[in-house]
Amino acid sequence: MPKSIINVREPAVPNTEAADFTNASPFRRQRQEGDPVRNGIVIGLAIVLLVFLGSMIAVLMMHAPSL
């Protein structure tokens, strides 16, 4: 049986000049821009939700007139 060769190496030393991958993305960064149409839609939906909840409360508060 052949004897196995043991290779003794020194411990790895971390590379202080490692590659910087902070700007390695192939995609452009998205800008944070305010979209007035989106803001208008969100405000409109909030108003519709409040009107709907108000109408549901009004329906629940109704009672039949006494005879």
DSSP, collapsed to helix, strand or coil, labels residue 18 as: coil
- pTM attached to this predicted model: 0.49
pLDDT digits (tens, 9 = 90+) for 4-53: 677 667 666 666 666 667 677 777 777 777 788 999 999 999 999 999 99
Q: Answer yes or no: is pLDDT of 66 > 70.
A: yes
pLDDT bracket for residue 1 (50, 70, 90)? low
Of 9 and 58, the one with more pLDDT: 58
Given the structure tokens 């790895």, which residue do they identify?
12
CB atoms within 10 A of CB 28: 6
Domain locations along the chain: 36-62
